[in-house]
Amino acid sequence: RVFDADGAVLVPGIVDCHIHNREPGLEYKEDWESATRAAAAGGVTTVVGMPNTDPVIDSPENLELKFERGEASAHVDFQSYAVVTSENLELIPDIDEAGPLGFKVFLGSTVGDVPPPSDGEILEAMERIRETGKRLGFHEENGEIIDHYTERFKAEGRNEPIDHSHSRPVIAEREAVERMITFAEETGAKIHMFHVSSGSAAEAVARGKDRGVDVTAETTPHYLWFTEDVMREKGNVARVQPPIRDAEERDRLWEVGIDDGVIDCIATDHAPHTPAEKKVDDPFGNTWDAISGFVGLETEVPAMLSFVDDGRLALEEWVRRHSTRPAQVWGMYPQKGSLQIGTDADFTIVDPNLEWTLEDRRELHSKNCVTPFEGESFTGKAVATVVRGQIVAEDGDVVGDSGYGTRVDVD
Ligand code: NCD
Ligand code: ZN
Ligand code: ZN
């Protein structure tokens, strides 16, 4: 097979360790097949699914069910986290045996029926997970602070999309990051902060790293690309947890998180919902009922390459955070995240000069494609995606077979 690779760049396969593939149980939003179709088209060779499905992935049986569904239909390689709740602390060793990539705790409320464990239970979970050698990641927002502001704003009759964002203030994120770092310092657990949205939270991660805590962190293209003004322009479409922050927090996320190297991983938080759930027909109404989250698998490589094109980020620094480091953080390296010579390599070919505007979200491959990146213009795009030596997508068209993707074995 010969590519016209004129001007193109070969990079190790892009690894996205934060997607909501929605299967089992929420297939009306997305499933393994559609999520990994979007991944392949977007230049992503490995994805990791979040456990807020139905049933939630809180037992060895549910994890095995999720893996079976993935083996049956995925286009690219995959893994999954298992959730820790108040109910399943004793099951942690058995869940570990079933082979998840790592563990996840949702602090505070988010999408799905996963109530947060108490602080005592989190400490106990850290002790148990430490024994498995795996890492524990957090949805890092303090739910009590959010509940307080949400109730107060509702009582005051505030109903703008921006009010929703402000009801989840930066302090809720920073406090949760600091508390989990303190717990990890005490227990010796390896921890991770998913979807860090603010410079303040990145600074908290930096202080933890300085103290010698094994804390790693992720951010997403949307926190680097947008400021909260997008809530005023696009309303509920841009609603996400944690929310998109003001320019000052966004700029400090760049400086502390990216320039100073505190953020280890880029991932999407790809979170498909139906247009009705996102209230696309009424983007500035019904704010408190609109759901949070949007897709990202096909805009993450273009967004990051646009930062490279702007001179905001070196190409090597992008590749490190979007392939090598995520694979290392989650124990998949060098199986994933490296450019290996041979016929079974994962790699992505990108054209850093290709200009592309996402004119219509229906160009995307997910089941539901609402995203605030609709209408945005990019410089740079994936032109071929290769998983274990097989071309799975070319020029945005998926050419591989459903079911080719396989679980990444981490034990
Ligand atoms: C996610 C979802 O829809 O599952 N939504 C979101 O706003 N980020 C949940 C999550 O990542 O916490
Ligand atoms: Zn989350
Ligand atoms: Zn998420």
Across the range 93-111, mean pLDDT stands at: 95
CA of 343 to the centre of ligand 3 (A): 33
Which atom of ligand 1 is nearest to 52's Cα? 4
Which atom of ligand 1 is nearest to 110's Cα? 12
CA of 273 to the centre of ligand 1 (A): 10
- When the pLDDT of each residue in the chain is averaged and rounded to a whole number, the result is 96
CA of 47 to the centre of ligand 3 (A): 13
Dist CA 254 CA 250 (whole Å): 6
Which atom of ligand 1 is nearest to 239's Cα? 7
Closest ligand, as measured to the CA of 139: 2
Q: Are 350 and 9 in contact (CB under 8 A)?
A: yes
Which atom of ligand 1 is nearest to 20's Cα? 4
SS3 state at 336: coil
Q: Are 19 and 48 in contact (CB under 8 A)?
A: yes
Dist CA 19 CA 212 (whole Å): 29
Give how far Cα 364 sits from Cα of 41, 204, 249, 296, Å.
Answer: 9, 36, 30, 10
CA of 273 to the centre of ligand 3 (A): 12
pLDDT at 126 > cutoff 80: yes
CA of 203 to the centre of ligand 1 (A): 23
Which atom of ligand 1 is nearest to 139's Cα? 12
Alpha helices in 253-314 (DSSP H): 275-278, 300-309
Question: 221: part of which helix (H) or strand (E)?
Answer: helix 221-225
Q: Pocket of ligand 1, candidates 17, 81, 111, 366: which has the most ligand atoms within 8 Å of its Cβ, to mutate? A: 111
Dist CA 359 CA 34 (whole Å): 20
pLDDT at 2 > cutoff 60: no
Q: What is the ipTM of this complex?
A: 0.99
Q: Are 272 and 366 in contact (CB under 8 A)?
A: yes
Provide the sign of the torsion angle of the four alpha carbons 14, 20, 22, 26, taken in this order: negative
Give the bridge partners for 137, in sequence order. 104, 192
What does the pLDDT read at residue 110?
82
Quick one: how many helices (H) and strands (E) in the chain?
15, 13
Dist CA 18 CA 25 (whole Å): 18
Ligand 1 atom 12: the closest Cα is on which residue? 110
CA of 240 to the centre of ligand 2 (A): 9
Q: How far apart are the first and last CA of the chain?
A: 34
Q: Are 45 and 336 in contact (CB under 8 A)?
A: yes
Dist CA 187 CA 176 (whole Å): 16
Dist CA 161 CA 403 (whole Å): 40
pLDDT in tens, 139-164: 999 999 999 999 999 999 999 999 99
Q: Are 221 and 371 in contact (CB under 8 A)?
A: no
Q: Pocket of ligand 1, candidates 110, 142, 273: which has the most ligand atoms within 8 Å of its Cβ, to mutate? A: 110
Alpha helices in 161-198 (DSSP H): 161-166, 170-187
pLDDT in tens, 213-254: 999 999 999 999 999 999 999 999 999 999 999 999 999 999
Give the model's confidence band at 3: pLDDT under 50 very low, under 70 low, under 90 confident, else very high.
low
Question: 314: part of which helix (H) or strand (E)?
Answer: none
Closest ligand, as measured to the CA of 110: 1
DSSP 107: E
Q: Are 259 and 8 in contact (CB under 8 A)?
A: no
Which atom of ligand 1 is nearest to 273's Cα? 3
CA of 83 to the centre of ligand 2 (A): 12
- DSSP line for 347-382: EEEEEEEEEEE---GGGS-SSS---TTTT-EEEEEE
Ligand 1 atom 5: the closest Cα is on which residue? 293
CA of 226 to the centre of ligand 2 (A): 18
Dist CA 62 CA 283 (whole Å): 35
* Listed residue (83, 86, 92, 93) closest to 55, CA to CA: 83
Across the range 73-101, mean pLDDT stands at: 98
Ligand 1 atom 11: the closest Cα is on which residue? 269
Give how far Cα 115 sits from Cα of 56, 104, 138, 225, 277, Å.
Answer: 11, 12, 13, 31, 21
What does the pLDDT read at residue 162?
95
pLDDT in tens, 328-378: 999 999 999 999 888 889 999 999 999 999 999 999 999 999 999 999 999
Tokens of 66: 């999720």
pLDDT at 411 > cutoff 80: no
Sequence letter at residue 72: A
Which atom of ligand 1 is nearest to 272's Cα? 3
SS3 state at 308: helix
CA of 265 to the centre of ligand 3 (A): 14
Ligand 1 atom 6: the closest Cα is on which residue? 293
Which atom of ligand 1 is nearest to 18's Cα? 11
Q: Pocket of ligand 1, candidates 57, 237, 269, 297: which has the most ligand atoms within 8 Å of its Cβ, to mutate? A: 269
CA of 272 to the centre of ligand 1 (A): 9
Give the model's confidence band at 6: pLDDT under 50 very low, under 70 low, under 90 confident, else very high.
confident
- Check: pTM over 0.90? Answer yes or no: yes
SS3 state at 330: coil
Give the model's confidence band at 5: pLDDT under 50 very low, under 70 low, under 90 confident, else very high.
low
CA of 269 to the centre of ligand 1 (A): 7
What does the pLDDT read at residue 286?
78
Ligand 1 neighbours (beta carbon < 6 A):
20, 52, 110-112, 139, 240-241, 269, 271, 292-293
What does the pLDDT read at residue 111?
87
Across the range 165-189, mean pLDDT stands at: 98
pLDDT at 4 > cutoff 70: no
Dist CA 372 CA 380 (whole Å): 18
pLDDT at 304 > cutoff 70: yes
